[in-house]
Amino acid sequence: MTMETAETLETTQADRNRVLVEIEDLKKYFPIHKGLLHRTVGQVKAVDGVTLSIRKGETFGLVGESGCGKSTFGRVLLRLQSATSGKVLFKDRDIHALNAKEMQKLREEMQIIFQDPFGSLNPRFLVKDIIGEPLRIHRNMSGKKIDARVVELMELVGLDPSRRNRYPHEFSGGQRQRIGIARAIALNPQFIVADEAVSALDVSVQSQVINLLMKLQKEMGLTFLFIAHGLNVVRHISDRIGVMYLGKLVEVAETEAMFAAPLHPYTAALLSAIPKPTPKKKLERIVLQGDVPSPANPPAGCRFHTRCPFVQDKCREQEPQLEEKLPGRLAACHYPLLEKGNGPSTVQVSIHAK
Ligand SMILES: Nc1ncnc2c1ncn2[C@@H]1O[C@H](COP(=O)(O)OP(=O)(O)OP(=O)(O)O)[C@@H](O)[C@H]1O
Ligand SMILES: [Mg+2]
């Protein structure tokens, strides 16, 4: 990409307020089969009613423990998997209602980067073919044209283009992730789901790849859904963060607001698990009791009640909805932490680890 196009594509503040992806009560259940007759005996509620707007040009970080439904959410968002119910509107178009041809066209605008830089690249393909494949399929490019674009893309992601005739195993983990990123941006997409894109990398390489993604976002006006286990990984890159628990969002906030004063006890627990506490506020470490319940049989009432240090009777009976507790701050909790002090600036989590 030339500097000129980079500049014209740079996001403006007005753009950032526009919604790119609108998700309405999205659900994805997987049937559980048993026995010789393969009877359906239950359902894994991997994503269980998520409503969210992702704004143009923002990075939305999605965090939560293993198995809470993050990857499923990302895949259903891109229609790599069907939805059980609910809607995903990408630029106002209901993507699960598009026909195959319309969907193939839209695929150019939505891409995914996977966690595993070793498994996600075909080991038998040269790097230039891996990066060039989407151009061949979607743009019908070949020969010198494709080669020139591959060189450009490799430079853009910080790879030496003279190595394009090599195989992925000749590259390090961080470099492979750059190959995956080059491939993902080959068609100039608008929206990228990065599913644990840096989780398999060393910490130092992690920040290099995160910096690369941030640079590309600025230059290309990209919108990211950035999925990771822990809050510390998404902090640097995310404008807003959503915390997921057993298939549902329990808190959504601007990054710094969330770090300054989490509203949901689960967010507070995730924050308190970060080794270096933020200098302003020291959260007591909250050690969650018990295991994550099964998404096939989530607890009644608030799903988090079985592990919540602040649980009360209402939490066992009524399911809290994700709603605005403070301007721009959503939480699904009957007793958000702000009510334990005189507002978010005085939040104190006074639970002691066992
Ligand atoms: N294809 C599938 N068939 C059946 N169950 C599935 C399928 N894919 C995911 N699940 C189940 O859905 C739930 C959510 O899984 P998912 O992979 O989305 O979680 P995750 O938050 O991405 O976890 P991790 O952090 O480990 O990647 C899990 O209980 C998982 O076992
Ligand atoms: Mg996952």
**pLDDT digit string (tens) for 105-129?**
999 999 999 877 667 788 899 999 9
* pLDDT computed for residue 117 by the predictor: 65
98 pLDDT higher than 60: yes
**pLDDT digit string (tens) for 45-84?**
999 999 999 999 999 999 999 999 999 999 999 999 999 9
Contact 282, 348 (CB under 8 A): no
Mean pLDDT over residues 21-29, rounded?
Answer: 97
Question: Which of 1-5, 110-114, 346-350 is predicted least confidently?
Answer: 346-350
- Residue with token string 């830089």: 117
Confidence of residue 354 (pLDDT cuts 50, 70, 90): very low
**pLDDT digit string (tens) for 239-278?**
999 999 999 999 999 999 999 999 999 999 999 877 654 5
Residue 72 CB less than 6 A away from ligand 1? yes
* pLDDT computed for residue 284 by the predictor: 64
**pLDDT digit string (tens) for 284-319?**
677 777 788 999 999 999 999 999 999 999 999 999
Ligand with smallest separation from the Cα of 67? 1
| CB hemisphere CA count around 30 (13 angstroms) | 14
Confidence of residue 283 (pLDDT cuts 50, 70, 90): low
- Domain spans of the chain, in order of start: 260-331
**pLDDT digit string (tens) for 165-220?**
999 999 998 899 999 999 999 999 999 999 998 888 888 888 888 999 999 999 99
* pLDDT computed for residue 280 by the predictor: 53
* pLDDT computed for residue 281 by the predictor: 53
For residue 70, report the distance from its CA to the centre of ligand 2, in Å.
Answer: 6
How does DSSP assign 218-259, residue by residue? HHHT-EEEEEESSHHHHHTT-SEEEEEETTEEEEEEEHHHHH
Ligand with smallest separation from the Cα of 195? 2
Question: Which of 85-89, 107-111, 128-132, 280-284 is predicted least confidently?
Answer: 280-284
Mutate which of 33, 44, 50 for ligand 1? The one with the most ligand atoms within 8 Å of its CB, which is 44
Contact 298, 48 (CB under 8 A): yes
**pLDDT digit string (tens) for 142-180?**
889 999 999 999 999 999 999 999 999 999 988 999 999
* pLDDT computed for residue 95 by the predictor: 96
* pLDDT computed for residue 346 by the predictor: 36
* pLDDT computed for residue 204 by the predictor: 84
- Please give the DSSP secondary-structure letter assigned to residue 177: H
The minimum-distance atom of ligand 1 relative to the CA of 72 is 18
Contact 230, 270 (CB under 8 A): yes
Closest CA to 61 of 236, 261, 185, 209: 236
| CB hemisphere CA count around 271 (13 angstroms) | 27
CA atoms of 75 and 279, how far apart (whole Å): 36
Q: Give the residue, by CA position, lying nearest to ligand 1 atom 17.
A: 71
